[in-house]
Amino acid sequence: MSRRRVPVPPAPGLADLTPDARLRRLELTVTRRLDGLLHGQYRGLLPGPGSEVAGSREYRPGEDEVRRMDWAVTARTTVPHVREVDADRELSTWLLVDASASMEYGTATLDKRELAVAAVAAVGFLTVGVGNRLGAQVLTPDGVQRYPARSGRTHLLGLLRALLAAPRAGEHDGVGTPPTLVDGLAALERTATRRGLVVVVSDFLDGLPDDPADPPPWAAGLRRLAVRHQVLAVEVTDPRELELPDVGLVTLVDPETGRHREVWTGDRGLRERYARAAAAQRDQVRRALRRSGATHLALRTDRDVSADIVRHVHAQRRLAAAPATTAATRGGGV
């Protein structure tokens, strides 16, 4: 008598899990991959000088920046001095998370919105510490959801739980106009008054002009934030947004407007034009982010988010260490 083999059900994906189970999975993934690899308790995702004055010392030509001159001490001693600063011991991190309809698209393991939550989890687990605070504003189809800046792991887990359970486009009541990225940046500018780290997670497709020479409407708000804060722009994309597969006739739907269009993907020329247009669009976003003064981190739904963040932080630290190495070489160091 042969036994009937019972098929083993596939492992649940991130979208099939309850918010609490998804949180545990996110925390385990992020902490296992990133814990101990990047930095200590008081070093951030974007390295930079502190802001707490710790005294003065004599100016070293070729090593010190003129903007750090301590003119009061220089006037008293008649010898040029610069201010010394300590690294900030309390980091305020503000998140702006795009949860609009375009972020619900995905053809890989995660959709763009779930990848955005994973990126927020990585930032949160890396910046959580004694005295560090984390606040957020989430752009949902129903409006802007605001979460005050608080410290502690419990607050971070509550924020992630709210992001996972945020309403999607199909659950929108249809009353009012969904907020734009410009609205979110303006609200964040009013809220984040203390200097810190600002992380904007989006696909940055909101209001992107057809002419690449024209700046996106959100560029000005991002530039204003970068004047006061360290800004990290996390661009979330999906591989199918960059190229079309040859799968015959498909119906494409704009998640923001609901417009439908049938496309014959068997046309090679069409696929090539689509790939060129998508590449030009992403170049347009990268240029706008660079000109705004934000640091750019690109994430894809078909890649390992933890590995991409590790590479990004290491690259930023090498860039930050390069001026010091050059100055030491000029001064006779190895």
Q: For 64-109, how does the pLDDT look when each residue is reduced to its tens digit (9 = 90+)?
A: 777 788 888 888 888 888 877 644 556 789 999 998 888 888 888 7
- Residues of the chain with confidence (pLDDT) below 70: 1-55, 85-90, 129-130, 169-176, 320-334
Longest CA–CA span in the chain (Å) reads 100
Query: Would you state the pLDDT for residue 64?
Result: 77
Tokens of 288: 């706008």
At 132, is the secondary structure helix, strand, or coil?
coil
Tokens 């030009």 — which residue?
Answer: 280
145's tokens: 């959801």
CA distances from 220 to 123, 216, 217, 224, 232 (A): 24, 8, 7, 6, 15
How far apart, in whole angstroms, are the C-alpha atoms of residue 115 and residue 242?
A: 17
pLDDT of residue 317: 72
Q: Are 110 and 301 in contact (CB under 8 A)?
A: yes
Amino acid residing at 332: G
Instruction: Please tell me the predicted confidence (pLDDT) of residue 4.
Output: 45
Residue 37: its pLDDT value, please? 47
Q: Check: CB of residue 263 under 8 Å from CB of residue 252.
A: yes
pLDDT of res. 234: 96
Domain ranges of the chain: 92-301
In CATH, which superfamily holds the domain spanning 92-301? von Willebrand factor, type A domain (3.40.50.410)
SS3 257: coil
